[in-house]
Amino acid sequence: MQTTDKTAKEIFFDVMANPQRVPFGFGKKAVLVNVDPQKAYTRTDLYKTAYETDPRQLEYVNALAERFRRLGWPVVWTHVAFLDSAEDAGVWGTRTDTPDSLQNIKYGSDRAAFDERVNIDYDRDVVYTKRMPSAFFETPLQSLLVWHQVDTVIVTGGSTSGCIRATAVESLSRGYRTIVPEECVADKHESYHYANLTDLHLKYADVVKVQSALDWLDQQAAEKA
C-alpha cells in the first residue's frame, strides 16, 4: 500500500493532471441522471444533512438538463423517500433513528421534496423515487435507457461518496460510458468528496469539468441542426 502526506484533494488534482489516463469518452447518445437534488441534501439553511461543494452546482445541472431537452434526450431526477413505517429502508435504516435519519425522509415531506432551484419539466422529464444508493436499484431506469438506446450516462447530484458512486459503479457495470461532471456533484466533507472522485476517475467513470459536458452536448446539437 502506498502512503502519502497529501490530502485527498491534492491527490485528486494530481490524478486529473495525469495525461496518461485513457478516458472512456462520450458515446453517441446520453441520459442525464440527477441523483437526489432534494432539500434534505441541498438546503444547507434548513437541514444539517445537507451539503454544498460548488455553489453553482444546481445552476450547472439545470444547464445540462436544458441541453438534453433540446436534443430530445432523456432527463431523469431521483429522490429518496420512505414509508411511515420505514420498512422499505430495510437494514439501511437501522443505524440511527433521529429526525435527521435517512429512513425518516418520508413521502410527501419537505425533506423529500426537490430543491426549488432545480428546473424539472414534469411534462417530459422522468422522476423516480429510490430507496437505496444506486439510481438503478429497483427503479425503471435500465428499461428507460434501453428504450432510448443510450450508451452514455452523465451523473450529477449527491453525495459523491454515496449515491453518486453507487450509481456510477452500476452504470459502468451495465456497460455504459459514465461521465461525472466535477462541479455537479457534492458531499459533506471535501475528504470524502475528492477521495471518491479520484477513485471514480481511476476505475469507473470519466470525471470531467462541466464545461466539457456542455461543449459535447452543444456539438451534438450543432450536428443535428
Report DSSP letters for 120-137, one per residue. --TTTSEEEEESSSSTTT
**pLDDT number for residue 224:** 85
187 within a domain of the structure (yes/no): yes
Helix (H, G, I), strand (E, B) or coil at 153: strand
Residue 87 maps to a domain: yes
120 falls within a domain: yes
pLDDT given for residue 19 in this prediction: 75
Low-confidence ranges of the chain (pLDDT < 50): none
Q: Which domain holds residue 214?
A: 27-224
Distance of CA 9 to the CA centre of its chain: 19
Q: Which residues are catalytic?
A: 163
Q: Tell whether the torsion through CA atoms of 161, 29, 38 and 56 is positive or negative.
A: positive
| pLDDT, position 20 | 73
> CA-CA distance, 57 to 183, in Å (whole number)?
6
- Residue 150 resides in a domain: yes
Q: How many residues does the chain have?
A: 225
198-220 pLDDT, tens digit each: 999 999 999 999 999 999 999 99
Q: What is the pTM of this model?
A: 0.97
Which residue in this structure is represented by grid cell 429526525? 99
* Residue 79 falls inside a structural domain: yes
Interacting residues of 164 by C-beta distance below 8 A, sequence separation 6+: 35, 155, 156, 157, 158, 180, 185, 196, 200
18 falls within a domain: no
Look at residue 153 in the predicted model and tell me its pLDDT: 98
Kindly state whether residue 201 falls inside one of the protein's structural domains: yes
Q: Under DSSP, is residue 49 helix (H, G, I), strand (E, B) or coil?
A: coil
Residue 83's domain is classified under what CATH number? 3.40.50.850
Total domain count, the chain:
1
